[in-house]
Amino acid sequence: MPVDKNMPILVVDDFNTMRRIVRSLLKQLGFSNVDEAVDGNDALEKIAAKHYGLVLSDWNMEPKSGIELLREVRQNAKHKELPFILITAESKVENIVEAKKAGVNQYIVKPFNAKTLKEKMVTVIGDF
Amino acid sequence: MAKKTGQDQKIETLIEREMQSTNPQTMNKDSFSLLAAKVATEIVRELGDKNSEFFKELRQIVSSIDSAKDEIAAIRPKELAEKELPDAANALDIIIKTSEEAASEILGCGEELMEIAQYVPGKLNQRLMEIATKIFEASNFDDLNGQRIRKVIKTLHLIEDRLKRLLSTYGEAYEVVKETTAVEPSEDSLLNGPQDQNKATSQEEIDRILNG
Protein backbone atom coordinates (compact mmCIF):
# COMPACT_ATOMS: atom_id res chain seq x y z
CA MET A 1 0.00 0.00 0.00
CA PRO A 2 1.50 3.36 -0.98
CA VAL A 3 2.47 5.65 1.88
CA ASP A 4 0.02 8.50 2.46
CA LYS A 5 2.26 11.56 2.45
CA ASN A 6 -0.55 13.52 4.00
CA MET A 7 -0.50 11.45 7.18
CA PRO A 8 0.01 13.46 10.35
CA ILE A 9 3.45 13.13 11.89
CA LEU A 10 4.37 14.23 15.42
CA VAL A 11 7.86 15.63 16.10
CA VAL A 12 8.81 15.70 19.79
CA ASP A 13 11.87 17.60 21.02
CA ASP A 14 12.48 20.21 23.72
CA PHE A 15 14.83 22.12 21.40
CA ASN A 16 13.06 24.37 18.91
CA THR A 17 15.96 24.21 16.43
CA MET A 18 15.76 20.42 16.26
CA ARG A 19 11.98 20.43 15.73
CA ARG A 20 12.51 22.87 12.89
CA ILE A 21 15.28 20.77 11.32
CA VAL A 22 13.14 17.63 11.38
CA ARG A 23 10.10 19.49 10.07
CA SER A 24 12.12 20.94 7.15
CA LEU A 25 13.64 17.58 6.25
CA LEU A 26 10.18 15.96 6.39
CA LYS A 27 8.91 18.69 4.06
CA GLN A 28 11.70 17.88 1.62
CA LEU A 29 10.60 14.26 1.74
CA GLY A 30 7.07 15.32 0.94
CA PHE A 31 5.51 15.23 4.41
CA SER A 32 3.99 18.56 5.36
CA ASN A 33 1.33 17.56 7.85
CA VAL A 34 3.60 17.88 10.87
CA ASP A 35 2.75 18.73 14.48
CA GLU A 36 5.25 19.51 17.21
CA ALA A 37 5.44 18.70 20.91
CA VAL A 38 7.97 20.14 23.38
CA ASP A 39 8.25 17.15 25.73
CA GLY A 40 6.77 13.76 26.57
CA ASN A 41 3.71 15.13 28.36
CA ASP A 42 2.84 17.50 25.52
CA ALA A 43 3.25 14.60 23.09
CA LEU A 44 0.95 12.31 25.08
CA GLU A 45 -1.79 14.94 25.02
CA LYS A 46 -1.46 15.32 21.27
CA ILE A 47 -1.37 11.55 20.66
CA ALA A 48 -4.53 11.17 22.73
CA ALA A 49 -6.27 13.82 20.62
CA LYS A 50 -5.17 12.82 17.10
CA HIS A 51 -4.30 9.69 15.14
CA TYR A 52 -0.67 10.04 14.03
CA GLY A 53 0.99 7.92 11.37
CA LEU A 54 4.44 8.36 12.87
CA VAL A 55 6.14 9.82 15.97
CA LEU A 56 9.73 11.12 15.84
CA SER A 57 10.97 11.82 19.35
CA ASP A 58 14.08 12.95 21.18
CA TRP A 59 15.11 11.02 24.31
CA ASN A 60 16.49 13.66 26.67
CA MET A 61 13.54 15.85 27.68
CA GLU A 62 12.04 16.96 30.95
CA PRO A 63 9.77 16.42 32.76
CA LYS A 64 8.93 13.38 30.60
CA SER A 65 11.68 11.85 28.46
CA GLY A 66 11.27 10.23 25.06
CA ILE A 67 11.80 6.74 26.48
CA GLU A 68 9.09 7.33 29.10
CA LEU A 69 6.81 8.62 26.35
CA LEU A 70 7.47 5.49 24.29
CA ARG A 71 6.70 3.17 27.23
CA GLU A 72 3.43 4.95 27.97
CA VAL A 73 2.43 4.93 24.30
CA ARG A 74 3.07 1.18 24.08
CA GLN A 75 1.09 0.53 27.28
CA ASN A 76 -2.00 1.92 25.55
CA ALA A 77 -3.60 -0.82 23.43
CA LYS A 78 -4.75 1.82 20.95
CA HIS A 79 -1.14 2.84 20.21
CA LYS A 80 0.71 -0.45 20.51
CA GLU A 81 1.49 -0.36 16.79
CA LEU A 82 2.09 3.39 16.43
CA PRO A 83 5.33 3.78 14.44
CA PHE A 84 7.85 5.39 16.78
CA ILE A 85 11.37 6.51 15.93
CA LEU A 86 13.78 7.90 18.54
CA ILE A 87 16.14 10.63 17.27
CA THR A 88 18.67 11.21 20.01
CA ALA A 89 22.25 11.99 20.99
CA GLU A 90 22.18 8.98 23.39
CA SER A 91 24.23 6.31 21.69
CA LYS A 92 25.42 3.82 24.30
CA VAL A 93 24.56 0.15 23.90
CA GLU A 94 22.41 0.23 27.03
CA ASN A 95 20.32 3.04 25.50
CA ILE A 96 19.64 1.02 22.37
CA VAL A 97 18.78 -2.05 24.44
CA GLU A 98 16.42 -0.03 26.63
CA ALA A 99 14.74 1.53 23.60
CA LYS A 100 14.29 -1.87 22.00
CA LYS A 101 12.76 -3.24 25.22
CA ALA A 102 10.41 -0.28 25.28
CA GLY A 103 9.21 -1.06 21.76
CA VAL A 104 10.95 1.49 19.52
CA ASN A 105 10.70 0.84 15.78
CA GLN A 106 13.87 2.66 14.76
CA TYR A 107 16.71 4.56 16.42
CA ILE A 108 18.54 7.50 14.82
CA VAL A 109 21.64 8.96 16.47
CA LYS A 110 22.33 12.71 16.30
CA PRO A 111 23.87 14.28 14.33
CA PHE A 112 21.92 12.69 11.52
CA ASN A 113 21.38 13.41 7.85
CA ALA A 114 18.42 13.41 5.49
CA LYS A 115 19.43 10.09 3.94
CA THR A 116 19.38 8.29 7.32
CA LEU A 117 16.06 9.84 8.23
CA LYS A 118 14.49 8.61 4.98
CA GLU A 119 16.02 5.12 5.30
CA LYS A 120 14.68 4.65 8.83
CA MET A 121 11.27 6.05 7.93
CA VAL A 122 11.02 3.66 4.99
CA THR A 123 11.70 0.65 7.24
CA VAL A 124 8.88 1.79 9.53
CA ILE A 125 6.13 3.19 7.31
CA GLY A 126 7.05 1.70 3.92
CA ASP A 127 8.71 2.92 0.74
CA PHE A 128 8.03 6.42 -0.55
CA MET B 1 44.22 -2.09 60.72
CA ALA B 2 45.19 1.41 61.87
CA LYS B 3 48.89 2.22 62.15
CA LYS B 4 50.16 2.05 65.75
CA THR B 5 51.15 5.39 67.26
CA GLY B 6 54.04 5.93 69.69
CA GLN B 7 51.41 6.22 72.42
CA ASP B 8 49.92 2.80 71.49
CA GLN B 9 53.33 1.18 71.65
CA LYS B 10 54.04 2.66 75.11
CA ILE B 11 50.79 1.28 76.49
CA GLU B 12 51.45 -2.10 74.88
CA THR B 13 54.97 -2.22 76.40
CA LEU B 14 53.53 -1.36 79.81
CA ILE B 15 50.94 -4.13 79.60
CA GLU B 16 53.51 -6.69 78.43
CA ARG B 17 55.87 -5.74 81.30
CA GLU B 18 53.10 -6.10 83.90
CA MET B 19 51.98 -9.41 82.43
CA GLN B 20 55.54 -10.74 82.52
CA SER B 21 55.96 -9.81 86.18
CA THR B 22 52.67 -11.50 87.12
CA ASN B 23 52.23 -15.22 87.66
CA PRO B 24 49.46 -16.23 85.25
CA GLN B 25 48.28 -18.92 87.65
CA THR B 26 47.63 -16.42 90.41
CA MET B 27 46.03 -13.72 88.24
CA ASN B 28 42.67 -12.63 89.51
CA LYS B 29 40.20 -9.79 89.44
CA ASP B 30 42.40 -7.63 91.64
CA SER B 31 45.51 -8.08 89.45
CA PHE B 32 43.51 -7.02 86.38
CA SER B 33 42.15 -3.99 88.24
CA LEU B 34 45.71 -3.06 89.23
CA LEU B 35 46.86 -3.43 85.61
CA ALA B 36 44.00 -1.28 84.36
CA ALA B 37 44.81 1.37 86.96
CA LYS B 38 48.48 1.43 85.89
CA VAL B 39 47.50 1.81 82.21
CA ALA B 40 45.10 4.62 83.10
CA THR B 41 47.77 6.35 85.19
CA GLU B 42 50.21 6.11 82.29
CA ILE B 43 47.64 7.64 79.91
CA VAL B 44 46.89 10.49 82.32
CA ARG B 45 50.62 11.11 82.77
CA GLU B 46 51.03 11.28 78.99
CA LEU B 47 48.13 13.72 78.72
CA GLY B 48 49.78 15.93 81.32
CA ASP B 49 53.13 15.96 79.55
CA LYS B 50 53.11 18.51 76.75
CA ASN B 51 56.21 16.88 75.22
CA SER B 52 54.62 13.46 75.15
CA GLU B 53 53.92 11.41 72.02
CA PHE B 54 50.20 12.12 72.45
CA PHE B 55 50.71 15.88 72.23
CA LYS B 56 53.20 15.52 69.39
CA GLU B 57 50.59 13.65 67.37
CA LEU B 58 47.86 16.09 68.36
CA ARG B 59 50.02 18.99 67.17
CA GLN B 60 50.58 17.21 63.85
CA ILE B 61 46.83 16.72 63.40
CA VAL B 62 46.14 20.39 64.17
CA SER B 63 48.89 21.43 61.75
CA SER B 64 47.36 19.25 58.98
CA ILE B 65 43.95 20.76 59.59
CA ASP B 66 45.41 24.28 59.43
CA SER B 67 47.17 23.46 56.14
CA ALA B 68 43.96 22.06 54.68
CA LYS B 69 42.06 25.17 55.78
CA ASP B 70 44.71 27.41 54.18
CA GLU B 71 44.52 25.45 50.92
CA ILE B 72 40.73 25.69 50.88
CA ALA B 73 40.90 29.42 51.66
CA ALA B 74 43.33 29.87 48.75
CA ILE B 75 40.63 28.80 46.27
CA ARG B 76 38.44 31.63 47.63
CA PRO B 77 35.29 29.56 48.07
CA LYS B 78 33.07 32.53 48.88
CA GLU B 79 33.98 34.38 45.68
CA LEU B 80 33.69 31.18 43.67
CA ALA B 81 30.28 30.27 45.07
CA GLU B 82 28.79 33.75 45.01
CA LYS B 83 30.26 35.25 41.87
CA GLU B 84 32.55 33.26 39.61
CA LEU B 85 30.56 30.05 39.29
CA PRO B 86 27.19 31.80 38.81
CA ASP B 87 28.86 34.11 36.26
CA ALA B 88 30.27 31.11 34.38
CA ALA B 89 26.88 29.35 34.36
CA ASN B 90 25.24 32.56 33.17
CA ALA B 91 27.77 32.93 30.35
CA LEU B 92 27.03 29.39 29.22
CA ASP B 93 23.28 30.10 29.29
CA ILE B 94 23.91 33.05 27.02
CA ILE B 95 25.89 30.82 24.65
CA ILE B 96 22.92 28.45 24.39
CA LYS B 97 20.53 31.33 23.76
CA THR B 98 22.63 33.15 21.16
CA SER B 99 23.56 29.91 19.43
CA GLU B 100 19.87 29.04 19.14
CA GLU B 101 19.15 32.48 17.68
CA ALA B 102 21.93 32.08 15.11
CA ALA B 103 20.78 28.55 14.22
CA SER B 104 17.26 29.92 13.74
CA GLU B 105 18.54 32.50 11.25
CA ILE B 106 20.51 29.83 9.39
CA LEU B 107 17.48 27.51 9.26
CA GLY B 108 15.42 30.43 7.96
CA CYS B 109 17.85 30.71 5.05
CA GLY B 110 17.52 27.00 4.35
CA GLU B 111 13.74 27.21 4.38
CA GLU B 112 13.84 30.18 2.03
CA LEU B 113 16.07 28.29 -0.38
CA MET B 114 13.55 25.46 -0.36
CA GLU B 115 10.75 27.90 -1.20
CA ILE B 116 12.76 29.47 -4.03
CA ALA B 117 13.67 26.03 -5.42
CA GLN B 118 9.99 25.39 -6.13
CA TYR B 119 10.08 28.07 -8.84
CA VAL B 120 13.34 26.96 -10.38
CA PRO B 121 13.40 24.02 -12.78
CA GLY B 122 15.77 21.17 -13.46
CA LYS B 123 19.31 20.91 -12.12
CA LEU B 124 19.16 24.25 -10.37
CA ASN B 125 16.13 23.10 -8.38
CA GLN B 126 18.02 19.97 -7.38
CA ARG B 127 21.12 21.97 -6.40
CA LEU B 128 19.12 24.41 -4.28
CA MET B 129 17.40 21.53 -2.47
CA GLU B 130 20.78 19.89 -1.81
CA ILE B 131 22.12 23.13 -0.33
CA ALA B 132 19.01 23.52 1.83
CA THR B 133 19.44 19.92 3.06
CA LYS B 134 23.08 20.57 3.96
CA ILE B 135 22.01 23.62 5.97
CA PHE B 136 19.42 21.59 7.91
CA GLU B 137 21.88 18.77 8.57
CA ALA B 138 24.68 21.11 9.68
CA SER B 139 22.31 22.84 12.10
CA ASN B 140 22.35 19.71 14.28
CA PHE B 141 25.31 21.43 16.00
CA ASP B 142 23.02 23.75 17.91
CA ASP B 143 21.08 20.96 19.59
CA LEU B 144 24.16 18.91 20.45
CA ASN B 145 26.13 21.88 21.75
CA GLY B 146 23.13 22.92 23.81
CA GLN B 147 22.98 19.48 25.43
CA ARG B 148 26.71 19.44 26.20
CA ILE B 149 26.63 22.94 27.64
CA ARG B 150 23.60 22.16 29.82
CA LYS B 151 25.58 19.27 31.33
CA VAL B 152 28.44 21.63 32.15
CA ILE B 153 26.01 24.11 33.73
CA LYS B 154 24.59 21.32 35.88
CA THR B 155 28.11 20.47 37.09
CA LEU B 156 28.84 24.13 37.89
CA HIS B 157 25.64 24.36 39.94
CA LEU B 158 26.65 21.21 41.81
CA ILE B 159 30.05 22.68 42.68
CA GLU B 160 28.39 25.94 43.69
CA ASP B 161 26.04 24.08 46.07
CA ARG B 162 28.89 22.11 47.63
CA LEU B 163 30.90 25.27 48.22
CA LYS B 164 27.91 27.03 49.77
CA ARG B 165 27.50 24.08 52.14
CA LEU B 166 31.19 24.29 53.01
CA LEU B 167 30.81 28.00 53.67
CA SER B 168 27.75 27.55 55.87
CA THR B 169 29.66 24.95 57.92
CA TYR B 170 32.95 26.81 58.28
CA GLY B 171 31.59 30.32 57.80
CA GLU B 172 33.84 33.29 58.67
CA ALA B 173 37.08 31.36 58.05
CA TYR B 174 36.59 32.05 54.35
CA GLU B 175 35.20 35.60 54.38
CA VAL B 176 36.55 37.70 51.53
CA VAL B 177 39.10 40.24 52.70
CA LYS B 178 37.76 43.55 51.45
CA GLU B 179 40.15 45.80 49.56
CA THR B 180 40.79 48.99 51.56
CA THR B 181 42.80 50.82 48.93
CA ALA B 182 41.93 51.43 45.28
CA VAL B 183 43.57 48.91 42.99
CA GLU B 184 44.88 49.88 39.55
CA PRO B 185 43.23 47.70 36.87
CA SER B 186 45.68 45.05 35.66
CA GLU B 187 45.78 43.74 32.07
CA ASP B 188 43.86 40.63 33.21
CA SER B 189 41.10 42.57 34.95
CA LEU B 190 40.45 44.39 31.66
CA LEU B 191 39.72 41.11 29.88
CA ASN B 192 36.01 40.45 30.40
CA GLY B 193 35.07 39.07 27.01
CA PRO B 194 31.68 39.30 25.27
CA GLN B 195 29.02 41.15 27.24
CA ASP B 196 25.64 39.92 28.42
CA GLN B 197 23.38 41.78 25.96
CA ASN B 198 20.95 42.64 28.76
CA LYS B 199 23.67 44.51 30.64
CA ALA B 200 25.91 45.52 27.76
CA THR B 201 27.28 49.01 27.15
CA SER B 202 25.71 50.21 23.93
CA GLN B 203 27.68 51.53 20.94
CA GLU B 204 26.14 54.95 21.56
CA GLU B 205 27.37 54.95 25.13
CA ILE B 206 30.86 53.88 24.00
CA ASP B 207 30.93 56.62 21.38
CA ARG B 208 29.79 59.13 23.97
CA ILE B 209 32.58 58.15 26.39
CA LEU B 210 35.19 58.13 23.63
CA ASN B 211 34.18 61.47 22.20
CA GLY B 212 33.12 63.14 25.43
Chain A CB contacts of B109 under 8 Å are none
Q: Report the residue from A17, A27, A113 with minimal CB separation from B142.
A: A17
- Mapped onto helix, strand or coil, the DSSP state of residue B133 is helix
User: Looking at beta carbons, which residues of chain B come within 8 Å of A25?
Assistant: 133, 136
pLDDT at B129: 94
The Cα A32–Cα A27 span in angstroms is 5
The reported pLDDT for the residue numbered B177 is 44
Cβ of B129 under 8 Å from any chain A Cβ?
yes
Task: Please write down the HEC assignment for all residues of B143-188.
Answer: HHHHHHHHHHHHHHHHHHHHHHHHHHHHHHHHCCCCCCCCCCCCCH
Arithmetic mean of pLDDT, A13-28: 95
Q: What integer best gives the mean pLDDT of chain A? A: 94
Residue type at A93 in one-letter notation: V
- A34-46, pLDDT tens digit by residue? 999 999 999 999 9
Distance CA A66, CA A71 (A): 9
Question: Which residue ranges in chain B fall short of pLDDT 50?
Answer: 176-182
pLDDT of residue B189: 63
pLDDT value at position A123?
A: 94
- What's the pLDDT at B212? 65
How many whole angstroms separate alpha carbon B74 and alpha carbon A45?
A: 53
pLDDT at B172: 58
How crowded is residue B197: how many other Cβ atoms within 10 Å of its Cβ? 10
Q: Quick check: B107 contacting A, CB < 8 Å? A: yes
Residue B38: what pLDDT? 82
pLDDT reported for residue B133: 95
> How confident is the model at residue B79, as a pLDDT?
87
The answer to whether the Cβ–Cβ distance between A25 and B100 falls below 8 Å is: no
pLDDT at A75 over 90: yes
Complex ipTM value: 0.83
Among candidates B111, B142, B146 on the partner chain, residue whose Cβ is nearest the Cβ of A24: B111
How much of chain A, in percent, has pLDDT values that exceed 90?
89
- Chain B partners within 8 Å of A113 (Cβ): 133, 137
How far apart CA A71 and CA A48 sit, in angstroms, is 15
Q: Find the mean pLDDT for residues A81-109.
A: 92
Instruction: Report the pLDDT value the prediction gives residue B179, as an integer from 0 to 100.
Output: 41
Chain B residues in contact with A27 by the CB 8 A cut-off are 114
Please give, rounded to a whole number of angstroms, the shortest distance from the CA of B1 to a CA of chain A.
40
